[in-house]
Amino acid sequence: MVAALDNRIGIGRGFGGGAAMSAAWEQDAAAGFVEQLFAAHHSEIYAYLIRMLRDPELAADLTQDAFVKAYRNYDTLEKPENARAWLYQIAHRVALDHIRRQKIVRFLPWTGESRGAAPSTERLVMDAHLSADMQRALARIPERQRAALLLAELHDLTGLELAAALGVSHVAARALLTRARESLRQALTAERDAEAAADAEADARAAANRPQRGAR
C-alpha cells in the first residue's frame, strides 16, 4: 500500500539535506498511518462507495483515490481517534465529486451487514434485484439525505462520526438524518402505493380479458 501511494502521487525517496529528511520522515509517518487505516477500513469504505455508485470497478478505483487523498491530507487529521469519521468524510467527498461530474445518483439498498463487513459483488447485485422498491425510494431522496442514511444506517456511524463525515454540526447531522428517514418513509409509501395500483390495474385487465362463463 505504501509503495502504491508513493507511485500514485509521485513521491521520491531521495534525500537532499535536513529539510528533505524531515519531509521524508513526515511522508513515512503519513504512509504508515494510512497503511493502518487501509488495513482496518478498506472493506467498509469500498462497501460504502459501491452502494453510492453501483459500479464495482469504479468503487475500487475511488477507494484507492480516497486513501491517496487521506495520505495527501494527513496533516488535516486533528485527532487519531477520529480517523474513521475523517476517512468517511474523504470517501464521501470523493463519491459526491464523481456523482456531480457524471450527473448521476445511484444507490444500493441496505443489506444488513455488520460494521466493517464488505459484501461480495454478487450479494450486492442479488440484493439490488430483490429490493427494487428501496432503490426507487432512495432515488427520490435528496442527495445529502441519501448519504446520511447510508452512513448512519448501513455503515453504523455514530452521531459524531456522521457529523464529521458530512462536515456539519452534530445537531445538523441529527436533523438531516431525521428528515432523511421521513423522506424515505414517504418515498417507500409512494412506491408501494404505485406498485399496488399497478397490480390492481393488471388484475383488472386480466379480468376484462378473461372469457365469461357461458360465452361462445
The alpha-carbon radius of gyration of the chain (Å, integer) is: 23
Structural domains of the chain, with CATH: 1-108 (1.10.1740.10), 131-210 (1.10.10.10)
User: pTM of the full predicted structure?
Assistant: 0.59
Higher pLDDT, 194 or 91: 91
What does the pLDDT read at residue 192? Answer: 83
Contact 47, 117 (CB under 8 A): yes
Q: Per-residue pLDDT for 207 more than 60?
A: yes
104 vs 95, 135, 139, 169, CA distance in Å? 11, 14, 10, 27
pLDDT digits (tens, 9 = 90+) for 73-107: 988 888 888 899 999 999 988 988 887 777 544 44
Contact 124, 111 (CB under 8 A): yes
pLDDT digits (tens, 9 = 90+) for 23-50: 555 777 888 888 999 999 999 999 888 8
Sorted by sequence, the CB contacts under 8 Å of residue 97 that are 6+ apart come out as none
Q: Per-residue pLDDT for 7 more than 70?
A: no
* Cell, residue 117: 463487513
The percentage of the chain sitting over the pLDDT mark of 70, rounded to a whole number, equals 71
User: What is the rounded CA–CA span in Å between residue 90 and residue 77?
Assistant: 11
